[in-house]
Structure 1
Amino acid sequence: MKFEIETAYSGDVYVLCADPEQYVPSALDEIQSGLSAKVKPLVEASRFRGKSGQTFEFTPVDLDGVQKIILAGLGEADKVDDRSLELYGAGVVKSLLTSGAKKVSIQAAGKDAARILLGARLAAYRFDKYMTKLKDEQKPSLETVVLVTPDVDAVSTAWMPLEAASEGTYMARDLMNEPPNVLYPASYAARIKEMESIGLKVTILGEEELTKLGMLSLLGVGQGSVKESQVVCIEWNGGGDEAPLAFVGKGVCFDSGGISLKPGPNMQDMKGDMGGSAAVVGAMKALALRKAKANVVGLVGLVENMPDGNASRPGDIVTTMSGQTVENQNTDAEGRLVLCDVLWYAQETYKPKAIVDLATLTGAIIVSLGHENAGLFSNDDTLSEQLTAAGVSEGETVWRLPMSQKYDNLLKSQFADMKNIGGPAAGSITAAQFLKRFIKEGTPWAHIDIAGVAWKSGDKDATDPSWASGFGPRLLDRLVKDNFEA
């Protein structure tokens, strides 16, 4: 689908903003002289009053090629923000995507009108590549969305980084939606390698290299699978000689639970257990597309957690790359065993100024926060505040939870330096405490548990039409934009 910014209306459908102060927009007269006066009695007779979510449609007379004009309520002007603009654009696309209309023009609304296009693009996402029996009326007809504004240059400038961020979201959604027989560590790494075409440097480490590096914790997770484990390093160098910011993502391409086998119902959702890595990959794509003036490295640990005769057992003890030992008491608490080695490698190799890791790490975070916020854990107040602000700005919100030595004590093991689970209480916190043991003194670090927001069935807003939400790229991109660019 094409997204354009123009000064004039064109296409099959015109959409004009309305609000409670002016629910019959004067902009109608720009389309046809006297049109607002003609339409006003019809609008007055209806219950349309320009409230958010309300629409009023009519078929214009003597406008060749225009199927209909829609007045769409934006709500009270003082309550309009980026989220409401995104939902406005998303609502338009959702209603017209399969309607038969091919081109829609949407009236811009204020200085932040590019957010309308962002919402429209997020809502236009589809993942139906494996659907072979769709009827014509189920297939998208909409081909072009035009944002109509008198200030094309300013809106176009604002749209460029938003478009890049939406590309990152699309990437993350695509990766998560793929079935696990298509997306496994090696094929995933190959997809990332293709991003060198947009200026990223990609290095793939296979099991031979990982063994030499001592990543025995990560390799232990993948040893029950016939698919080779991989670590992929993605570098964007747009900030001169400064130390990079590091993003680290959990990439368990399928999580059966291993020997600690998960229950069968809904196990198919475990193809999404690589959502943290998808967020990192999507963010790196966004940064490259908008040519961010910062140095950022993204690292993802890609494994499958499967239960064959060679699989890691409860009771096994592994030595991590850091030299610390871990007693594996539950093979379904595998994500932290992947992340600990990649976090250590990131620090050893890149000496980053700060680290943010993302993972679909615990079901406990859903008990705590539901599906509305990701859980945030950090050793640094400034980084935590930066992430919280970035999340609010982009609608990918995080909520900080506590950490302390008392929680850390729950990880004590009789036989190794630590165990990989802390018991039934505070499961998300003890997972974060585990990861903190692999962060070097003085390195600002944040862990984001996205298990509750990476995918969601049921009621979702129009910007999020997919099983996979694509959470993360916009959050990370905004973090870089607001705090780490030159």
Structure 2
Amino acid sequence: MKINILEKNDKLKSEVEIIFVKELDSLTQDKELLEILDFKAKDEACVLLAESKKIYVGYEKDNYDCIAIAIATAIKKLQTTKFKSANIVLNQELKDNFKALVEGAILGEYKFTDYKSEKEKRKIELDLIVEEKNSSLEKILNDSKIIAKAVNKARNMVNTAPADFYPEVMANIAQELAKDVDISCEVYGEKYLEKNNMMAMHSVGRASIHESKLIHLSYKPKNAKAKIVLVGKGLTYDSGGLSLKPADFMVTMKADKSGGCAVLSTMWAIAKLELPFEVHGIVGAVENMIGGNAYKPDDILKAKNGKTIEVRNTDAEGRLVLADCLCYAQDEIKDIDYIFDYATLTGACVVGVGEYTTGVMGNNEILKKEAVVSALNSGEYATALDFNRFLRKAIKSEIADVCNIANTRYGGAITAGMFLDNFIYEENKNKWIHFDIAGPAFVEKAWGYNPHGASGTGVRFTVEFLRGLLKD
């Protein structure tokens, strides 16, 4: 999508006008016709008046969510026609929510068509009309285009079929992204994992024909204001291992790489935006398959920090990969200010908070609250889930240091987060946040400005959080 900022006296070439409606009574034109068509000034309400070349779209509040959903709804309506361009005359509310307008338009236009035999090549052009141009709006436009593009990069990666996206492919894409923004990228294979005692991650991927890859992206600008580590679960496919998933549950497991994809795309966005922070992106790219050399329930694995793990379910594999990746990050990177990990970790989180919301966990209550606020401000849904001493007992093992699943069916998202806490070093306990994105990362129906499939969850939140650090 091409987006332009134009002034009212500029010559317009766009074919259709998009009109935002918060109150039907405020309209001076087409009000009677809209009433006949039963148009309501509500979120996701949209009417195309083809003869007059107008699209009316409703919105309820002047906030990010409502504005982004409204423009995405209008763009989707435009896509059902042969029109290729549209304009919007911005009122004050739209100017105040300009970021939402731009991001909602780009995210709403997205379609994943890589596997379609017939692809639509039509590109939409959107003119945003203001009284007078200013550098502030231009800055928001440029930054929001980068952020939305990063989200769509993550969507593309997550939506790609597992036959076409395995650990080596993920590593190659990481190297391409790094080259595009001139940051460093190191990729390590299974010999490195063995040599460095990363046997939790190594064991998960050893039955696959595709070699596991540890990916480390580094962005180091001069005079960095803080050092941040982003760790992503990159399960390019998860069969469940020997604890094999039922057939219905195995569908969509291409999305188990969503955390890793979010980290790769976020690293690209951070470098493109030239944010003044040193940021490291660590991704464990692994495929969890079955075979004669698959790791087994009852195995005892040793992680990089020396802790032993009793395996009671090979489908609780993401936390094993993250355990070693978290240890690697803390061993290789010193004086860390923040550690964030992103993972489609538990179905329990989806049950607990719904399929649109990220579960936020950690030891630092203030940091968790800041993370939730940043997520909400960025347009993502998130809520805090609290650790407690009684659930910690549920992952105790009688024969190892910790068990990879709990002895209770309740609180599974929290016990998974508490498992990861075993691999956070004491000096970093209050710097770490775990994001369980199992719900919003991949939904098999369109919602708001998100399409069927991958949403790119995590990218916008992280950029928003880092920008918030600049205000402190």
Give the TM-score normalised by structure 1: 0.89
Contact 2:244/2:315, CA 8 A, preserved across alignment: yes
Please say which of residues 214-223 and 417-426 is displaced more in the overlay: 417-426
Partner of 1:475: 461
Question: 1:162 and 2:148 equivalent?
Answer: no
> For 1:386, which of 370, 384, 399 is the aligned residue?
370
SS at match of 1:152: coil
**Whole-angstrom CA distance in 2 between matches of 1:46 and 1:396:** 33
Q: CA RMSD, aligned part only?
A: 2.1
**Whole-angstrom CA distance in 2 between matches of 1:411 and 1:266:** 24
Partner of 2:26: 23
5+ residue gaps in structure 1?
26-35, 61-66
**Whole-angstrom CA distance in 2 between matches of 1:435 and 1:268:** 26
Tell me: CA distance 1:22–1:412, structure 2 relative to 1, closer, same or farther (3 Å).
same
**Whole-angstrom CA distance in 2 between matches of 1:387 and 1:466:** 26
Question: 1:132 and 2:78 equivalent?
Answer: no
Partner of 2:274: 291
| Cα shift at 1:68 | 0.7
| Cα shift at 1:207 | 1.3
CA offsets 1:233-277 (integer angstroms, 9 cap, x no match): 111223525551111010110000111111112412111111111
Tell me: CA distance 1:364–1:57, structure 2 relative to 1, closer, same or farther (3 Å).
closer
Please say which of residues 404-413 and 361-370 is displaced more in the overlay: 404-413
Partner of 1:246: 229
**Whole-angstrom CA distance in 1 between matches of 2:39 and 2:32:** 11
| Cα shift at 1:286 | 1.4
Partner of 2:87: 105
Tell me: CA distance 1:51–1:211, structure 2 relative to 1, closer, same or farther (3 Å).
closer
Letter of the structure 2 residue corresponding to residue 278 of structure 1: C
Partner of 1:436: 421
CA offsets 1:448-486 (integer angstroms, 9 cap, x no match): 11111111123522x101311111100111111102689
Tell me: CA distance 1:338–1:59, structure 2 relative to 1, closer, same or farther (3 Å).
closer
Identity level (%):
31
**Whole-angstrom CA distance in 2 between matches of 1:268 and 1:257:** 12
> For 2:197, which of 188, 206, 214 is the aligned residue?
214
| Cα shift at 1:438 | 0.6
**Whole-angstrom CA distance in 1 between matches of 2:247 and 2:201:** 25
Partner of 1:450: 437
5+ residue gaps in structure 2?
none
Please say which of residues 476-485 and 384-393 is displaced more in the overlay: 476-485
SS at match of 1:274: helix
Partner of 2:78: 96
| Cα shift at 1:141 | 3.5
**Whole-angstrom CA distance in 1 between matches of 2:43 and 2:73:** 11
SS at match of 1:357: strand
Letter of the structure 1 residue corresponding to residue 55 of structure 2: I
Contact 1:105/1:145, CA 8 A, preserved across alignment: yes
The structure with more radius of gyration? 1
Please say which of residues 250-259 and 6-15 is displaced more in the overlay: 6-15
- Within 5 Å, give how 1:314-393 maps onto structure 2: 314-351=297-334, 352-393=336-377
CA offsets 1:273-312 (integer angstroms, 9 cap, x no match): 1111111112112111111111111111000000110100
Give the TM-score normalised by structure 2: 0.92
Letter of the structure 1 residue corresponding to residue 304 of structure 2: M
SS at match of 2:251: helix
Tell me: CA distance 1:408–1:113, structure 2 relative to 1, closer, same or farther (3 Å).
same
**Whole-angstrom CA distance in 2 between matches of 1:45 and 1:183:** 50
| Cα shift at 1:175 | 0.8
Partner of 1:152: 133
Letter of the structure 2 residue corresponding to residue 12 of structure 1: E
Letter of the structure 1 residue corresponding to residue 6 of structure 2: E
Partner of 1:31: none
SS at match of 1:228: coil
Partner of 2:239: 256
**Number of positions where the alignment pairs a residue of Structure 1 with one of Structure 2:** 460
Partner of 2:291: 308
| Cα shift at 1:117 | 1.9
Question: 1:225 and 2:208 equivalent?
Answer: yes
Partner of 1:28: none
Question: 1:398 and 2:385 equivalent?
Answer: no
**Whole-angstrom CA distance in 1 between matches of 2:386 and 2:463:** 25
CA offsets 1:77-98 (integer angstroms, 9 cap, x no match): xx31121111121011110114
Contact 2:446/2:452, CA 8 A, preserved across alignment: no
SS at match of 2:55: strand
**Whole-angstrom CA distance in 2 between matches of 1:186 and 1:43:** 54
Letter of the structure 2 residue corresponding to residue 23 of structure 1: S
SS at match of 1:273: helix
The runs of at least 4 consecutive aligned structure 1 residues that moved more than 6 Å come to: none
Tell me: CA distance 1:415–1:49, structure 2 relative to 1, closer, same or farther (3 Å).
closer
Tell me: CA distance 1:412–1:50, structure 2 relative to 1, closer, same or farther (3 Å).
closer
**Whole-angstrom CA distance in 2 between matches of 1:397 and 1:49:** 26
